[in-house]
Structure 1
Amino acid sequence: MSLVKFHNPAYNANNVLVNELFNNFFRNDYSEQYVKNCAKPATNVFETEKDFKIEVLLPGFVKEDVNLNVHNNILTIKVDKEKEEKEVEYKYTHREFGAYNFEKQYKLPKSVDTEKIEAKFDSGILVLHLPKKEEALPKVPVDIKIA
C-alpha cells in the first residue's frame, strides 16, 4: 500500500481540495490538511519489507518546533514557529526558501506498528522510522515433509 500520494501544486487549491475530498472518500489512502498560502517541505518516503521511513526537510527549524502525533492511524507532522519580528534591510524580489509553518498528515497502513514509531531530528532533517507489525512481515517458506 502506498504511504503517500503526490499532487501537482499548479492546480487551483479549491479544485484540489474538492477532488481530494471525493477521491479520499473512495480510496481512503491519503489525507492532507490544506492551509491557504502554506508551503510544504520536501519529503522522501521509503518502504522496505520491514518498515517505512519518512524524511522531511525542515531548514530553519529545531526539534522543539516539531510536533508529531498519531491518532486513528493518521500521522500528523506539525511545525509551528513563532515569527521573529526583525527589521529587514532588503526587500525580497525572489524567495524560494524560509521557515514556514505547516501541518501534513499521512494515513498509515494497518501494517504499521504505531507503538514503535521513532523520530530523530538532525541537521534540519526530520527522520521517522515506522516499523511494520510482526504479522505484516513476509514469512519464510516452511518445508513440509510427507509422512
Structure 2
Amino acid sequence: MTSTDTHAIENRQSESTDTQHQARTGREQATRPVYRPRVDIHESGDEFIAHLDIPGARADSIDVEFERGTLTISAAVDDRTHPESHRWLLREYGVGNYERSFTLTDEVAADRIAAEFKNGVLSLTLPKTDHVKPRKVPVTSD
C-alpha cells in the first residue's frame, strides 16, 4: 500500500520504531533480527482488512497494540531446536522478531479492532467509523 494523505491506514516506516517497541515490551534482544512482515490491505464498505505474514509465530507471541493513533504489530519467533546429536546442514529460515506499524486516521474505529491468527497469517479487522461508512439515503415523495 502506498502512503498518501487520503488513506485511512498509513504505513509507518521508522527505523526507531523497533527499538522503541522493544524498550516498551522488554524484548530487546540485540542478536535477533527484526523482520517487517508483508501485508495486504483491502477495504469493504464497513471495514478495512489487513493480512500480515508472520511465519513460525504462535498466537501467544503476537502483540497488537494501539496507542496515540498508531497500530503496532509485533511478534517473536523462537529458534528452531534439534537434538544435540544432529548438526545443521543448511539453515535458511530466518528466526527473530517481527514488527510493523501503521498510523490510523479517525476513519477507523480503534476500539473495535479485532485480530485472528491462523496458518501463519495475522488477520486484522479494522471497522470503519459510522461517519465514513457508505449509507443509503431514502427518497421520499409527497
Note the alpha carbon deviations across 1:46-99, whole angstroms, 9 max, x for none. Answer: 11111000111111111111110001121100112344566642244xx3x433
SS at match of 1:140: coil
**Counterpart in 1 of 2:13?**
32
- Return the TM-score normalized by structure 2: 0.70
- Return the TM-score normalized by structure 1: 0.68
For residue 126 of structure 2, what is the amino acid of its counterpart?
A: L
- Give me the whole-angstrom Cα distance separating, in 2, the residues matched to 1:30 and 1:89: 37
State how 1:1-147 maps to structure 2 within 5 Å: 4-5=1-2, 29-34=10-15, 38-83=34-79, 88-92=87-91, 95=92, 97-145=93-141
RMSD of equivalent CA atoms:
2.9
For residue 141 of structure 2, what is the amino acid of its counterpart?
A: K
For residue 14 of structure 2, what is the amino acid of its counterpart?
A: Q
- Give me the whole-angstrom Cα distance separating, in 2, the residues matched to 1:108 and 1:38: 22
Aligned length, in residue pairs: 121
Indicate the percent of aligned positions where both proteins have the same amino acid: 20
Counterpart contact for 1:120–1:127, Cα < 8 Å: yes
Counterpart contact for 2:37–2:100, Cα < 8 Å: no
- Give me the whole-angstrom Cα distance separating, in 1, the residues matched to 2:77 and 2:11: 26
* Unaligned residue ranges in structure 1 (runs of 5+): 7-22
**Counterpart in 1 of 2:25?**
none
Counterpart contact for 1:59–1:98, Cα < 8 Å: no
**Counterpart in 2 of 1:9?**
none
Counterpart contact for 2:57–2:76, Cα < 8 Å: no
